[in-house]
Amino acid sequence: MSTILVTGATDGIGLETARELAQLGHEVVLHSRDAEKALRAADKIHESVPEARLQTACADLADLGQVVQMAQELNARLPRLDVLLHNAGVYMTTRQLSPNGFEMTMAVNYFAPFVLTRWLLSLLKRSGDPRVVTVSSVAHQSGRIAFDNMNSEREFDAYHAYANSKLADTLFANALAERESWLCSNSLHPGVIDTKLLHTGFNMKGDTLQHGARTSIYLATSPKVQGVTGRYFDDCQVAQCSALASDHELDDALWRWTDNALRDWLP
């Protein structure tokens, strides 16, 4: 069975994903902003999966220093990591800056996964079937990458900031697949799911959390996608991502830009 780190595992799709992975017998590392929330999530999972094998890991993803610290702790603690599942995400209705001075949507949704992945590559290398799964969104199709406006300096629009971060996630997943051919890196649209993020950003109801967790679990565990990398999935099927998300020159440029912008937090 695999050891799987799920970010944003204390509620919504993340908690449901972690619960179902534990039910399948995998060891799950529950990421949370704080230890108390992580323990509450573990208690909830144990209610329905008493035999669940769970660990916790804490970091505020908006603070890249905390992301690095959590990664270093995991490197010291875990013998290996089979799956890194980037599930955490935010939808900011106003422009706010992270502790590191970055626009919060991009900081949490894209910069944190970039930094966390880079620090955990050595742990993933110890797995026989290493996978990185990045939860994107169909909203990536509306996204644009403007290297002179990555922090929404010129203007801030909540939906565009979210869409841009999800395009960055899809480009990141594709670039990682190209750069690290020994692992499988894929991104996905979870569906329009009834979560806090959906209510905040779109003021609407959506599908069940179980539906929202399905494709993440499929990409994390299914033997059918062993060796499949650099693809975008929707409803457990390979789907067409946007033309921008498929642009290998853009994913390379974004990777190099991010590598430079975040060099203070990279190994």
For 88-99, the pLDDT digits (tens) are: 999 999 999 999
Cα distances (Å, whole numbers) of residue 218 to 46, 55, 65, 163, 224: 22, 21, 31, 24, 9
pLDDT of residue 209: 79
Looking at this protein, which amino acid is placed at residue 230?
G
Tell me how far apart the alpha carbons of residues 108 and 94 are, in angstroms, rounded to a whole number. 14
Q: Which residues pair with 237 in a beta bridge?
A: 234
**Which residue intervals of the chain are DSSP H helices?**
12-23, 35-48, 64-77, 104-106, 112-124, 158-179, 196-202, 209-221, 248-261
Which CATH fold would you assign to the domain 3-265? Rossmann fold (3.40.50)
Task: List, for residues 203-222, the tens digit of each pLDDT value.
Answer: 556 667 787 899 999 999 99
Q: What are phi and psi of 131, to 5 degrees?
A: -135, 140
Kindly name the residue from 91, 110, 162, 218 that is annotated as catalytic.
162
Q: Which positions of the chain have pLDDT values less than 50?
A: none
pTM above 0.85, yes or no: yes
Task: Write the CB contacts of 53 (distance below 8 Å, at least 6 apart in sequence).
Answer: 22, 26, 27, 28
For 5, the enclosing helix (H) or strand (E) is strand 3-6
pLDDT of residue 185: 98
**Beta-sheet pairing, 237-239 with 232-234:** antiparallel
Active-site residue 162, yes or no?
A: yes
Q: What string of DSSP letters covers 84-112?
A: EEE------SS--B-TTSSBHHHIIIIIH
pLDDT of residue 210: 81
pLDDT of residue 11: 87
- Cβ atoms of 112 and 61 within 8 Å: the answer is yes
